[in-house]
Amino acid sequence: MIMLDGWVWQRSCPIPAPGNGFAGRTGLVLELLNIPDFHQNSNTPLDSTYLGCYISLCMEAIQLLQSPAEVPSALAGDGACFVRQRIRHWSRNSRTVRLGRTERYAMKVTALLVGFLMGFTLCVGVAQADVLYNTLPGYDNSAGATISGTGAATQTYLSYAQPFTVAGGNFTLSSVEVAASWAGYPLRNASTVSLSLLADNTGTPGSEIESLGTMSTAYPASVIQFNSSSHPLLESGQTYWVAMLPGASNTWASWCVVGSHTPGLGAIDEGSGWATSTNDGICAMKVNAVSAVPEPGTLLALCSGILGLAGFAARHRK
């Protein structure tokens, strides 16, 4: 234990003697303990070694929080970073160290910083991937929207776009997955396709928000993932379009449709601009994103932790 002006930082096991080391040990539990009536302590001064051990403990706790599988239940429960309780029985192996005024101030500042970092880590940790749109399951390998360049056997430029609408809050784009293949079997043109995220322009594809890159297709069809590099904001209630374009002049590819061949809204560009239709089959794609705002419960836990630590420092300020 390290005593801090009536408060104690306690590890799940006694603090080792200087030089034994404990960094990287799993199962770390840090508790902020209020002991107003504590008086059974030694007068051993805190040297730089123990202060270094204390800081190492804090950093180890942060590292553990970054690995959800290893987060101790005492830290994870109810979003709390610290557990406060009274000590009524003492362990003979516990080691208590009195701090001087300078060390107390340094540790208060460190405690506030560590509390903030732990809370921030928890906020980041809950930001998980969300699927905004998914028609990939059961796609048809034998049918799809033709994507071609003027140098292909079709000698016609063809690209296709499909819309999706964001629901449930704001998100940032992570990636888009599509099912595509070469077309013109058995010729099997070695084809590449490009994918873009487009804004909506009163029900038709609008300006480009981000080019997601160019990838090769194969035969039979396979799922290709295009990762976002700029992670644009996708606003709740707004419609966006994913457009597949020929990646080269000789491209002849197919964007697979869903197995049921269910018709839906889409747009085709034959070189003169986008034209919408509701007669074509829905193409197979999956839009992956990350919530742009932490969950309210997580923000409440973070703010509560910061306010609690600030109150702790103020109450013990001399």
- For residue 290, CA distances in Å to 17, 124, 136, 226 come to 45, 11, 19, 15
Residue 35's contacts (CB-CB under 8 Å, 6 or more residues apart) are: 6, 7, 8, 86, 87
For the CA atoms of the chain, what is the radius of gyration?
Answer: 29
51 with 87, same domain? yes
145 with 287, same domain? yes
Q: What is the pLDDT of residue 220?
A: 86
Q: How long, in residues, is the chain?
A: 318
Q: Break the chain down into helix, strand, coil percent, rounded to 5.
A: 25, 35, 40
Long-range contacts of 258-262 (CB under 8 A, 24+ apart): 258/135, 258/138, 258/139, 258/140, 258/282, 258/283, 258/284, 259/138, 259/139, 259/140, 260/138, 261/140, 261/143
Condensed to tens digits (0 to 9), the pLDDT of residues 148-185 reads: 998 887 788 999 999 999 999 999 999 999 999 987 65
Q: Are 176 and 241 in contact (CB under 8 A)?
A: no
147 with 181, same domain? yes
Report the domain count for the chain.
Answer: 2
301 with 280, same domain? no
Q: Which domain holds residue 207?
A: 129-291
Q: What is the pLDDT of residue 296?
A: 53
7 with 101, same domain? yes
Looking up residue 152, the CATH number of its domain turns out to be 2.60.120
170 with 82, same domain? no
123 with 134, same domain? no
**Cβ–Cβ contacts within 10 Å for residue 106, how many?**
16
The partner residues of 133 in beta bridges, in order of sequence, read 287
184-211 residues labelled b (16+ CB within 10 A) or e (exposed):
beeeebebbbbbbbbeeeeebbeeebbb
Give the helix/strand (H/E) hosting 212: strand 204-216
* CA torsion through residues 251, 278, 143, 222, sign: positive
133 with 280, same domain? yes
Q: What is the pLDDT along the chain (318 residues), one digit of tens a residue?
A: 444 334 344 434 344 444 443 333 333 333 333 333 333 343 444 444 444 544 555 455 545 444 444 444 444 433 333 333 333 333 334 444 455 666 565 566 565 555 555 555 444 444 567 999 999 998 998 889 999 998 887 788 999 999 999 999 999 999 999 999 987 655 555 689 999 999 999 999 999 999 999 999 888 899 999 999 999 999 999 999 999 999 998 888 999 999 888 899 999 999 999 999 999 899 999 999 999 765 555 455 555 555 555 555 555 554
Q: What is the pLDDT of residue 74?
A: 40
75 with 224, same domain? no
- The span from the CA of 295 to the CA of 219, in Å, is 42
123 with 133, same domain? no
- The span from the CA of 286 to the CA of 176, in Å, is 6
- The span from the CA of 223 to the CA of 203, in Å, is 27
Q: Are 203 and 158 in contact (CB under 8 A)?
A: no
282 with 133, same domain? yes
Q: Are 233 and 189 in contact (CB under 8 A)?
A: no
122 with 135, same domain? no
Q: Are 104 and 5 in contact (CB under 8 A)?
A: yes
Residue 235's contacts (CB-CB under 8 Å, 6 or more residues apart) are: 166, 170
- The span from the CA of 290 to the CA of 131, in Å, is 9
- The predicted model scores a pTM of 0.57
Amino acid identity, residue 310?
A
